[in-house]
A and B are shown apart, each in its own frame.
Chain A
Amino acid sequence: MGIKLVSLFLLCATLAGCQSVAPNGPRIADVGHGIEVSRQAAWTVQEIGPPRGKHQYIWTVDGFALNEMVFTTGISRGDPIFPDPQDDYDLPVYHATMLPDEVMELVAASLRKFGYQQLRTDSLHPVPFGTATGFRFSFTYTTDDGLEMKGTAVIAQRGGLDVILFTAPTEYYFDHYLPMVEDVFASIRVFDVDVTIPACEFANALSLSFGCPTPKKTSN
């Protein structure tokens, strides 16, 4: 780590779409909030936003109803996870004091507001998120048409919330594309401007000192 990588990152950020050496090989994609992932050529990218200054990226291979990867990063406290431009979905908002369970519930509650039916979450567990700690969980739901769907998500609280999720029909699509999704998750690299020790993020927010260093004042 250090100066070299940081300046490489800055150089990359100024170019439109950082290319890797092989033109059909995976590319480095900047998904906001200092996060980079590897993106294989098969993914088509759509950029949404910015709602209140943040970006959201949606990727698909065959169409959003068949496979959909959503990146929404750097969500500030008091903001909903997904954009609600007409403000009519009454979306719940993020608080920095949320425990990982509560962030998972926030994602679930938001998806329910968008009409995801019978949504159930499962298997919440800590995972690496670059050098930070994130949490991974799986979920199931059905669409309005009754098509059964599966999902998997990664969340990280880094002075702003990052949410990456993938959904696809249970029949064939989810299992078939999961390896590509795991590749994306495994490729997560995080460039933090301010480094906080991740295990203590919410402890600090709750003013619980369980042997965690006192944090610096951050703008978020």
Chain B
Amino acid sequence: MRGRYLSGLFLAASLFNASGNVSQAAETIVPGYQPRMDSDEAGLWLEADQLESALRQSPQHVADEALNDYLETLVCGLAGAQCASIRVLAIETPESNAFCLPNGTMVVQTGLLLRMENEAQLAFVLGHELAHYLKRHSLTHHEARRNIEGSMHLLWMLSGFTLLPKLLADGWLAAHDRDQEREADADGFNAAVGLGYDPRQAEIIWSNVEQEESANPKRSSPSLFLADHPTNKERLAAMKQRAGELQAQMQANNLGTEAFRAVILPLRSAWLEQEINRGEFSESIAVLQRLIKSDPGDGHLQYYLGESYRRRNEKGDNDRALAAYRAAIAGTNAPVAAHRSLGLVALKSGQKTAAREAFHQYLALAPDANDRPTVEYYLKTIGE
């Protein structure tokens, strides 16, 4: 067995060197760069091209012109000399994420746009993702993975398929990823601050993430060893420190709130519906409560808060839902459905009068509603 292991290790070492066509190009992307056709990088770009094409044809592609123009301008500013090689693509999915493909496509998910409070926060996130692209992290990660997995795979097979070599490989890769993430945090931060954005906004992003995640009692803490991102606490501390350093130096305090809200607010309702349809109601409640602080009279936000409570349906949620629907109706632009949902909650808690009133109000405001027969059915059950 030991003889096998040793010769296996020897082979592993030779495999480490034998794998892949490692790119010889500079560490940072320069304008007009094209990888050699036989390189790993060209393969990654081809896959990226195919993914970009699929996303553009997807029903989830957000075609809204104002949004696309806004994002292109923002990313262009952050990319500086690289502006011409970047394209932006917005996708309607509730995950709070953005990523830059190796071919220069910046994909922004609407879950992220929902959670950002202003342009500055968005700039820090997109700056971070741009940094990954500019430093070609996909490629170096890919090469690292290919190297380690080749040799580790052999060791794994020879050792009788035990888990430890695989875990070691995964842990090594995760550490490599964490280094990349720290680098992207730093580069992205510098890029955004360089454009005049308020450095204090970066840490607010992270404390909001922290707040949302801790609202969910079911969320398990990720393994630190296998985590490919530094923990929130670590990033928060890093951000605070950098912000403190820069505050003294620069006059950067641009938030870009007006421009951001002008583009985002008209599109938010659809994204809110997707958010609560995730089924993670405690997290949605945390996000909505934070958004409501900035827009206390927004009927849509209060409505979706009500929906989150109603569908979570834990102890006390019925009353919270009722309060939220009432706040929605008292605010501006409440969706007509707020009356209907109020009726549902009132019906479930045995409040016949309130339910009857709410259902009648719904039918009065939406006489052509395609679920009218159901509301009439509820009214019949209550007894008119």
Contact = CB atoms under 8 A, between A and B. Distances in A.
Q: Assess A/B contact in the complex (Cβ within 8 A).
A: yes
Interface string B279-322: 10000000000000000000000000000000100000000000
Interface stretch (B68-76, B153-161, B376-384): B376-384
Contacts of B381: 199-200, 202-203, 208, 210
Interface of A: 92, 97, 99-102, 105, 108-109, 112-113, 117-119, 122-126, 135, 142, 146, 148, 199-200, 202-203, 206-208, 210-211
B338 to A, nearest CB: 14
A202 B380 CA distance: 13
Contact of B60 (A100, A124, A146): A146
B152 interface: no
A101 B374 contact: yes
Interface stretch (B51-59, B205-213, B254-262): B51-59
A203 B352 CA distance: 12
A44 B371 CA distance: 33
Interface string B351-384: 0100000000000000000111110011011110
A47 B222 CA distance: 39
Contact of B373 (A102, A109, A112, A126): A126
B64 to A, nearest CB: 16
B371 A199 contact: no
B59 A124 contact: no
A105 B57 CA distance: 29
B348 interface: yes
B382 A123 contact: no
B59 A142 contact: yes
A99 B279 CA distance: 18
Given A101-B374, A125-B371, A125-B373, A210 B57 contact: no
Nearest to A108: B277
A180 B57 CA distance: 32
Given A124-B371, A126-B373, A109 B57 contact: no
Given A123-B370, A124-B374, A146 B59 contact: yes
